[in-house]
């Protein structure tokens, strides 16, 4: 009789006490979700406030995975689905103006990136092209003379 009581007590201990202990414990899991912040601006540097954003996942480049609107400073933040590695495309457009940025997510992730050039690059490229036109003009006016 007595050993049965002991067995029951042991069983309760085995089941009950750890159970209460589990109830008081806490468990935290973590996965790192990278949020992507984009900032859209016009050539002039003026932010594209209120620009409409369409995010395209790598597996479906034709239908938007997410749509949204840029804030006053042209910023928009989203968290891409980590189970879809590849190039995510984000398009921002406003009144027929806009651009699309390609963001690699997954193994070859680039922490920053963008479209466009620095002012120095732009000036240099513009100067080269203009010189090309001027050279063409000089060439043909020389032939004429």
Partner 1 sequence: MHIPDGILPAAVCLGGYATTGAATWYSLRKINQQENPREGIPKASLLTAAFFVASWIHIPVPPTSVHLVLNGLLGAVLGYYAFPAILIGLFFQAVMFQHGGLTTLGVNAAMMGLPALVAYHLFRLRRALGKDSRAWTGLFGFLAGAGGLGISVLISLALLITTIPAHLDVETERASIYAMSLAHVPLMALEGVFTALVVLFLQRVKPELLEGGSPLSPFPPTLGGQGGG
Q: Which residues contact partner 1 by CB under 8 A?
A: 42-44, 46, 50, 52, 54, 63-64, 67, 69, 91, 93-100, 115-117, 122, 125-126, 129-130, 133-134, 136-138, 140-141, 143-144
> Which CB, 24 or 144, lies closer to partner 1?
144
Please say whether the beta carbons of 87 and 58 come within 8 A.
Answer: yes
Q: Which of 72, 82, 74, 76 is nearest to 33 (CA)?
A: 82
CB 38 within 8 A of CB 11: no
Distance CA(125)–CA(20), nearest Å, equals 72
Least distance from C-beta 134 to partner 1, angstroms?
6
Q: Smaller CB distance to partner 1: residue 67 or 79? A: 67
What span, in angstroms and rounded, lies between the C-alpha atoms of 128 and 92?
Answer: 30
Smallest distance, partner 1 to C-beta of residue 80, A:
18
| Residue 27 vs 144, nearer CB to partner 1 | 144
């Amino acid at each position: 009789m007595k050993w049965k009581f002991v067995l029951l007590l042991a069983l309760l201990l085995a089941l009950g006490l750890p159970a209460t202990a589990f109830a008081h414990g806490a468990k935290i899991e973590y996965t790192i979700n990278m949020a992507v912040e984009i900032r859209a601006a016009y050539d002039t540097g003026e932010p594209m406030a209120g620009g409409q954003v369409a995010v395209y996942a790598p597996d479906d480049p034709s239908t938007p995975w997410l749509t949204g609107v840029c804030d006053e400073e042209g910023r928009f933040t989203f968290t891409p689905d980590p189970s879809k590695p590849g190039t995510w495309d984000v398009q921002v457009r406003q009144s027929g103006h806009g651009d699309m940025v390609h963001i690699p997510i997954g193994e070859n992730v680039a922490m920053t990136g963008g479209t466009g050039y620095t002012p120095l690059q732009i000036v240099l490229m513009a100067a080269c092209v203009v010189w090309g036109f001027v050279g063409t003009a000089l060439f043909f006016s020389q032939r004429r003379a």
